[in-house]
Amino acid sequence: MKMKMQMRQRYLWMAFFFVGIIFLFHGAGIAQTKPKAVYGTGQATFVVATGSPGALGLLKALADPFCKANDCRLVWYKKGSGASLAFMKAGKCDVIMVHAPAAEKKAVAEGWATHRTIIGANQFFIVGPKSDPAGIRKATSAKEAYAMIARAKAKFFSRGDNSGTNKRELKIWKLAGITPSGSWYIITHDFMGPTLLRADREKGYFMTDNSTYYVKKTKIKHLVPLFKGDPILINVYHALMPNPKKYPKRNTKLARKFIDFVASPEGQKIIKAFGEKRYGRPLYQDAAVALKLEEKLEGKSESEKISGKIVIFHAGSLTLPLYKMEKAFEKAHPGVDIVREAAGSRTCARKIVDLKRPCDIMISADDSVIDKFLIPDYADFNIRFASNQMVLCYTDKSRHHETINADNWYKILLDKKVVWGQSDPNADPCGYRALMVMQLAEKYYGIKGLYRSLLANRPMKNIRPKSVELVVLLQTGDMDYAWEYRSVAVQHKLKFVELPTKINLGSTDYNDFYKHAVVEISGNKPGTKIKKVCKAITYGATLLKKAPNRPAAIAFLSYLLDPEGGVRILKAMGQPPIVPAWVTSKAMKEKVPSAFRERVVVRK
């Protein structure tokens, strides 16, 4: 019995021993990594942690002359930026070469990293299958490209390793307002090269640096660069070393010497030329170029420094969409204060022309108002960016609300007991468009004299300066029916009669029919009259030549035309955006600011 107990204890101790050995080796596999390479044969040794610069051979190209001149050895550990920073913080290395600006600055601020030095740059490409199932070739920004991929649920590969590339990728998703998840979003937990090649095998999208793409190009069969050039895709590298006071055992003297060498003319010459002989092009840009790119990446250029007031005069029908845009834009740009003034479009123009009121942007519910009042003296271009249609609004309090429809609406407006109104045609495009709809109705329904009969049953007191003022009268029951834009009806949750397309002014396909309606309204100068020929509803926007805050105004107009910004808000609020927006000539397009020129096409 005693022998059995001894045997059992022996076996138990052996089991504990082997389990301990397994955990020991498993833990070592996680906590410790072997160096990827050693360069030089000298006595002094220093450790460098980096990812792509080592994998692509740049580190060796720098190490060879440095180690020879300083009789030392460089030990390279292959790690992405996040892991390199953690490695140095743990006291495991002497130099890191990384591209994670926010994390680098935090390390310096916390006091454990120092001597942060810009050393070079490359850029990111968003690559994908040649067929481009998500259509990102048409994207105008990286965040738009990501949003298109997410909407299409197209296969996208993420390193998911807290590397500089992964940090930038996640930043772009955040800017796009998307948290990627699902079977289409594949996390590899691997380095740049292997992830790029896997994305190629499985024909998915991936954000790679251009250096890795060119090195691996001969092995890539299916992927091509589909989007590049957005400032957020600029990829700047810095070298850092540990603070000698916190890490006295590290070789910080040799570390500083190496960083200074990399930043010197000799080191920069190596970086600037690296890859040109083998791949036909340099794989990196030097620190001088990188510094300029960094300023652009961090928004230090004058065109991107926006703050102060943006004054916008706009059509009343855009009040709610522009309110939403205002809040979103101010949140993204805390130093900006958008000041909006809603009025009839013609009134907005007169504030600028007659009253000489300072203004940055004017947005009209009738694009021709900008052409007639502001171009060329006050503005250079007129971007058509949205459409609409006319509807007849009512509520449950309205007389005959139970029976009104697209076939009998004019009969109900002829009822002497029915109170209906419209906005002022001399001040608001919605006002003269209401008149145009009723003129077209006479022709469409074949009822001679209908237009005059309808106007005879609308007292002048029922004409208001802005169409949106009629909404309150409807909601209080003081008015039965009012002519409004469909978007206004949707935004205010009003009931409305959907009119036939041939008379609702909502389609350019019917411009030949619409032009039969002609309304006389006040001219540009007091006491004059002009004839307004009907056409489909088109909204226009412009930047004033003397805009007091031109940089911020340009940024807002860019946001207005952004598919993930203003365009999305317009769609959500019942206002059909025109995508792409358009101008009437090549000469006019040339005058559109470069920040959003590519979102605009030329149409007659």
Q: Determine the pLDDT at residue 298.
A: 65
Please give the structure tokens belonging to residue 318.
């855009």
Q: What is the pTM for the complete model shown? A: 0.52
Summarize pLDDT for 133-154 with one digit per residue, the tens: 999 999 989 999 999 999 999 9
Number of residues in the chain = 604
Summarize pLDDT for 499-539 with one digit per residue, the tens: 999 999 999 899 999 999 999 998 777 778 999 999 999 99
pLDDT band at 29 (very low <50, low <70, confident <90, very high): very low
Residue 456 has pLDDT above 70, yes or no: yes
Summarize pLDDT for 152-187 with one digit per residue, the tens: 999 999 999 989 899 999 999 999 999 999 999 999
DSSP one-letter code for 285:
B
Q: Determine the pLDDT at residue 305.
A: 61
Picking from 510, 515, 426, 436, the residue whose alpha carbon sits closest to that of residue 465 is: 426
Mean pLDDT estimate for the chain: 90
Summarize pLDDT for 392-406 with one digit per residue, the tens: 999 999 999 999 999
pLDDT band at 294 (very low <50, low <70, confident <90, very high): confident
Long-range contacts of 354-360 (CB under 8 A, 24+ apart): 357/313, 358/311, 358/546, 358/548, 359/311, 359/312, 359/313, 359/544, 359/547, 360/310, 360/311, 360/312, 360/543, 360/544, 360/547, 360/548, 360/549, 360/550, 360/552, 360/553, 360/556
Q: How far apart are CA 239 and CA 113, in angstroms?
A: 10
Q: What is the mean predicted confidence (pLDDT) over 562-587? A: 92
**Cis previous bond, 194, omega within 30:** no
Q: Determine the pLDDT at residue 594.
A: 76
Q: How far apart are CA 206 and CA 222, in angstroms?
A: 12
Q: What is the mean predicted confidence (pLDDT) over 186-199? A: 95
Residue 8 has pLDDT above 50, yes or no: no
Picking from 397, 109, 360, 101, the residue whose alpha carbon sits closest to that of residue 231 is: 101
Share of the chain above pLDDT 90, in %: 80
Q: What is the mean predicted confidence (pLDDT) over 31-36? A: 70
pLDDT band at 5 (very low <50, low <70, confident <90, very high): very low
Parallel, antiparallel, or unpaired: how do β-strands 495-497 and 529-533 relate?
unpaired
Q: Determine the pLDDT at residue 304.
A: 46
Domains for the chain: give ranges and CATH numbers: 37-121+235-297 (3.40.190.10), 124-232 (3.40.190.10), 304-387+544-602 (3.40.190.10), 390-533 (3.40.190.10)
Residue 376 has pLDDT above 90, yes or no: yes
Summarize pLDDT for 203-233 with one digit per residue, the tens: 999 999 999 999 999 999 999 999 998 989 9
Q: How far apart are CA 47 and CA 76, in angstroms?
A: 6
Position 465, amino acid: P
Q: How far apart are CA 391 and CA 393, in angstroms?
A: 6
Quick one: CA dihedral 558, 560, 564, 567, positive or negative?
Answer: negative
Q: Determine the pLDDT at residue 283.
A: 96
Q: Determine the pLDDT at residue 380.
A: 95
